[in-house]
Chains A and B, each alone.
Chain A
Amino acid sequence: MLIINCPYCGPRDQSEFSNGGEAHVKRPDGSKEIGDREWGEYVFIRANPKGLFYERWVHTHGCRKWFNCVRDTSTDEILVTYKLDEKKPNLNNFKSVVKTPSGEPEVGSGNFTVEK
């Protein structure tokens, strides 16, 4: 079980939170003309990378606040959590994450157990 650092309450067990999918997906402005493709992509298309991912969470069984985080999807490591009105962090700032050609970290993905 992960520990997630709620920007309002501090570190809490994952069971208190719900995941809200990709973060920083902008809802098109309803007062303007929106094309079928643009709207369809907003409703249905989300990124699913192996590696660093901007993600939304909500502290459902806590303060009920939504917030964003950067999670490494291959190791589950949450590198930072931040409030909705904070600027999104630059992924290049996370030097601790080892990037291999396949996107597979050297250790921690659980996909292999023996050192390569």
Chain B
Amino acid sequence: MKSINLKKNQFIQFHQKISFKFDGVKYFGYKGDTIASALLRNNINLVGRSFKYHRPRGIYTCGIEEPNALVQIISEYSEPNTRATIKKIYEGMEIESQNRWPSLENDFGSINNLFSPIFTAGFYYKTFMGPHKKFWKNLYEPLIRRAAGLGKPPKDFKGISNHIHHNVDITIIGGGLNGLLAAKSFINSNYDVLLIDFEEQLGGIINNSNKLSSIDNKEPKDWLKETIQEIEDSKNIKILKNTLVTTYNYINHLIAIEDRFVGSKPIEGKVNSTLHKIRTGHTILCNGHIERFLSFQNNDLPGIMLSSSFEKYMCRYGLAPSKEPVIFSNNSNSNSLVYGLIKAGLKPKAYIDSRSGEEIEPNLFDLIRKNDVPLYTNSQIKGAFGNKKIEKILVEDSSGALNEIKCDCLCLSGGINPDVHLFTQSKGLLDWDEKDLTYKPSKPFQPTITLGSASGQFNFDNLNSDINEKLKTFKVKKLDVKLELNTNTKYNIEKLWEVSPQKKSLWAKSFIDLQNDVTTKDIRQAITEGFDRIEHLKRYTTNSMGTDQGKISSINALGIVSDLLDKKVNEVGTTIYRPPYAPLSFSAIAGRNCYEFYDPERKSPIHSWHIKNGAIFEDVGQWKRPWYFQINKDESMHDAVQRESKNVRENAGILDGSTLGKIEIKGEDALEFMNLIYTNSFTKMKQGSARYALMLGEDGMVKDDGIICKISDQHFIATTTTGGAATVLGCMEEYAQTEWPNLKVFMNSITEQYATFNISGPKTREIMKKAFPNINFSNEEFPFMTFQFHEFNGIPIRILRASFTGELGYEIYIPSNSAPKIWDNIQSVGKEFGLAPYGTEAMHLLRAEKGYIIVGQDTDGSITPIDLGLSWMIGKSKKDFLGKRSLARPDTIREDRKQLVGIIPSNKADKLEEGQHIILDKEIKSPVPMLGHITSCYYSSTLGHDFALAIIKNGRSMIGTKAYASTSSMGTTGVDIVKPVFYDENNKRLVS
């Protein structure tokens, strides 16, 4: 294909040369060129290999609908699947073709074309589901993984995008003739208007075609300039260019993506793209139409292009891809191309029309006759032929005779469709137009207005009345625009979807979906196999499932199917167009919510001390908690955890428990409310005392636990698990509002207001005495499970005597801002007693030795307090509390429910593992009855061996018996089932 520059063009700066590389070779284009227009200027038309058969493919269109010319932009982190027909070139741009190896010219994968008879419809389903699954694993998968697919994933991607929200009255999508006229009506009105266009220049068909000769007696481009100026000057209208609306959600919520670096290389660290989130009162769709292609043998050869695209290259890019293209059409939309070619001093090699001479417009007839263009009416192209490019076509003329025409370019037009994707995304309904042979918007579901060809108005004669009628709900001026056309015709089309090939052959291909390599034969086969519903057929053949969503071909497929089934197209229906309209990069969706902003980190007030003292952190929800502290770089986690836990048992340890959830509950009816929320009864509890409490779901299962401090009947402070804080507060608020609105009670999260230090170990009392000399820590003055308020150096503190390790322990609650000071003080006075910090892992080990559960680790939402052996915590005399009635359901009182037990290896040297199944027989004979599994497991240096907590069926009655713990990785280990407490069973140390 030999192209020619048409030197008169307002959009291309012919004085500004730009160099770029395609597959390593340097070429030149001009400022304003897309990759496609620049390649065509260099007479390159082979730009990629097809998805399945690796057939050579060229540039088929001049816009967003492009199915073939997808390239990888090496100079932008190797961005794949970029449409060459949209992306503008810039100096130094590096582009690579996709899906070929070792090179585009000599592609090894094109051997697939020879095997093509096996890659038919349903190929993937048949190989996945068929009887020969081994073939899939050993042969097809490795082969297909290398051969199929589009581009390669980007490398070291660093794109940044931001999000902007808009709230407007009216959004106009598409800045073509109708979009501009709609915007013009709103100039200086009281409406907030957003006008969005995908291109750099507003104008649509005014820029892209030869259709219009004058608007309001002016040259179209002069009218355009004036109108854009008026719209720009209007304060209530905002224009977004280079912005594509991809999504039309419920309640007029639109998503649009703006490219911030059109025609230049994105700068690292700068915002590359902006995602606009738009909420609008009304949406006016003026997004025009898309031309469709036609199916015949080898309709995918490079050199074949849509006729409106050829015209757009001429008008918009000052480039005729060929000096003498052949035109094949079944409708009047390509008339303006004939007009444009002749105006530019070029001449079609031939004009072939499936319509009869009487149907063809007289003015087109005159034009063709006057310029001696060979004319074939009532004729069809039977096939295109050539080696990696079109060289000749076979035309069957009205007499049935075959004519061979040599050519380097073929322009196709199969008719036009309103671009209904956004309209159907909005859940509007379509209706088939039997005269224009296309689906058109009919009933909108939302406040959606369609104008111009987007609404199916393919002629210009009703332009004014249509816009005025549809915009009459708004207080705007009426339009009266005079249009004159170059090709004065009414849209006319004859039904033609597919031309059957000249010779029947297994290898002859008429494509219906170029991107996914679906042929018309695949459609026939799918219907023969019973996939005659359009949604099934789509998935079975993968028709219109590519990144282009079959924009130029999906209607043709419906036409073919309706003919095969002998049904009306309306009965066949259409598949649902889903967002996004065109591929949307994940980085644009992520916006600034990535890297350090992906998920906020929560840190305790002591965090910087932990870092200085060798803490290795663990994520607990969003919190960073010290997991263990390394005293030197060589200390292993195991050694650190054993050292820390041993130190708690022998001396004293301190844990930063600031992440625990804390909720303050106040009000006249606080006592009654707490009695309803938790299983325990708080009525007889003394002021200043504390209680370990359980919270259940209405299903009776343990949801959370914590310690409740009773300040008075009107004032409580509850702690929750670190991960459960928000849920527990939410649950309290819900019941206070929905079930017991009569109770006067209020609750508030105070998690971040207070830091919490847990000090425990036999030497704790000495340390506390020294740290807080004015407080009496004796057993009589400060018994277990009581708390006191004090002031220390002017800082109000609350000390609770409680323990999660089984040792003598205190929890100190301090306002967060003062916490580091007191932490430092405790560290320095504790030194002489061997006080050392410990992390969450040692804490878990210590609590497990005592048999204290962790909600969410030893429970899983199917465990009741009875299952845990915690029946003593249930306030049985209470009339009601969350989940109470469920504890008496037949299922929850079953004897053989899973229950909490302890597990130790029968041979003390054996190891256990969390998640191991507990089974009864050493021999594994499937099916193995599953009794339950190990929920927590640690090595204890205090005990000198591994130990575990487990939930197993009927577990309490099995205490004292033997069983086996099993995983495939560790084999089967003999274990003893014991009580779930391994240390200080009588709590002597706790109350010492």
Which residues from chain A sit less than 8 Å from chain B, CB to CB? 1-3, 20, 27-31, 34, 36, 39-40, 42-44, 56, 58, 60, 64-66, 75-76, 84-85, 106-110, 112-115
Contacts and interface: CB of A to CB of B under 8 A. Distances in A.
A2 B427 CA distance: 14
A44 B430 CA distance: 41
Given A39-B886, A60-B730, A115-B431, 8 more contacts: A27-B698, A76-B250, A107-B428, A107-B445, A110-B427, A110-B576, A113-B576, A114-B429
Contacts of B444: 107
Interface in B414-435: 424, 427-432
A76 B253 CA distance: 14
A64 B442 CA distance: 42
B427 A109 contact: yes
Interface in B864-894: 879-881, 884-886, 889-890
B734 interface: yes
A1 B249 contact: yes
Given A76-B250, A113-B573, A114-B429, A43 B699 contact: yes
Given A30-B879, A84-B737, A39 B889 contact: yes
Q: Which among A31, A58, A84, A113 has the greatest number of chain B C-beta atoms within 10 A? A: A113
A113 B574 contact: yes
Contacts of B699: 43-44
Interface string B726-758: 000010011001110100000000000000000
A30 B576 contact: no
B191 interface: no
Contact of A114 (B431, B698, B730, B738): B431
A43 B886 contact: yes
Interface in B438-455: 439, 442-445
A106 B427 CA distance: 11
Contacts of A2: 250-251
A110 B251 CA distance: 14
Contacts of B432: 114
Contacts of B431: 114-115
Contacts of A43: 698-699, 886
A41 B439 CA distance: 48
Nearest to B700: A43
Contact of B734 (A34, A58, A76): A58
B445 A108 contact: yes
Contacts of A58: 730, 734
Nearest to B878: A30
Contacts of A115: 429-431, 442-443, 570
Contact of A1 (B251, B429, B880): B251
Interface string B662-706: 000000000000000000000000000000000000110000000
Nearest to A34: B885
User: Which of under 10, 10 to 19, 20 to 34, or 35 or more describes the interface residues of B?
Assistant: 35 or more
Contacts of B491: none
14 contacts: A1-B253, A27-B739, A29-B880, A30-B880, A30-B881, A30-B885, A36-B890, A42-B698, A56-B738, A58-B730, A64-B733, A66-B734, A107-B445, A108-B445
Nearest to B733: A64
A85 B741 contact: yes
Interface in B212-265: 249-251, 253
A84 B428 contact: no
Contact of A107 (B253, B429, B733, B889): B429
B577 interface: yes
Contacts of B279: 3
Contacts of A27: 698, 739
A31 B889 contact: no
- Give the interface SS of chain A, mostly helix, strand, loop or mixed: loop
Contacts of B427: 75, 107-110
B985 to A, nearest CB: 36
Contact of A112 (B573, B730, B885): B573
A114 B570 CA distance: 7
Q: Which among B738, B884, B886 has the greatest number of chain A C-beta atoms within 10 A? A: B738
B573 to A, nearest CB: 5
Contacts of A31: 879-880
B733 A28 contact: no
A58 B427 CA distance: 27
A115 B427 CA distance: 11
Contacts, number: 86
B373 to A, nearest CB: 40
Interface of B: 249-251, 253, 279, 424, 427-432, 439, 442-445, 570, 573-577, 698-699, 730, 733-734, 737-739, 741, 879-881, 884-886, 889-890
A106 B443 contact: yes
A76 B462 CA distance: 36
A107 to B, nearest CB: 5
Q: Which among B443, B570, B880 has the greatest number of chain A C-beta atoms within 10 A? A: B880
A8 to B, nearest CB: 11
Nearest to A66: B737
A75 B445 CA distance: 9
A74 to B, nearest CB: 11
A110 to B, nearest CB: 5
A80 to B, nearest CB: 15
Nearest to A58: B734
Q: Which among A42, A60, A112 has the greatest number of chain B C-beta atoms within 10 A? A: A112
A40 B698 CA distance: 10
Given A66-B738, A114-B570, A114-B574, A39 B250 contact: no
Given A30-B880, A39-B886, A114 B430 contact: yes
Given A43-B698, A58-B734, A113-B574, A84 B885 contact: no
B627 to A, nearest CB: 31
Contacts of B251: 1-3
Given A106-B443, A107-B443, A113 B734 contact: no
Contacts of A60: 730
A115 B574 CA distance: 11
Contacts of A39: 885-886, 889
Contacts of A113: 424, 429-430, 573-577
Nearest to A40: B889
Nearest to B420: A113
Contacts of B424: 113
Can you list the 8 inter-chain pairs with the closest CB atoms, starting with the nearest? A30-B880, A108-B445, A31-B879, A115-B429, A114-B573, A115-B431, A66-B737, A39-B885
B182 to A, nearest CB: 24
Contacts of B884: 30
A63 B886 CA distance: 32
A59 to B, nearest CB: 11
Nearest to A105: B445
Nearest to B881: A30
Contacts of A20: 734
A31 B734 CA distance: 20
A39 B886 CA distance: 8
Contact of B439 (A3, A40, A56, A114): A114
A56 B439 CA distance: 40
Q: Which among A34, A66, A75, A106 has the greatest number of chain B C-beta atoms within 10 A? A: A66
Nearest to B431: A115
B754 to A, nearest CB: 21
Nearest to A1: B253
A44 B432 CA distance: 46
A12 to B, nearest CB: 11
A75 to B, nearest CB: 8
A68 B137 CA distance: 53
Nearest to B885: A39
Contacts of A84: 737-738, 741
A108 B429 CA distance: 8
A18 to B, nearest CB: 8
Contacts of A108: 427, 445
Contacts of B570: 114-115
Contacts of A110: 427, 576
Nearest to A110: B427
Contacts of A76: 250
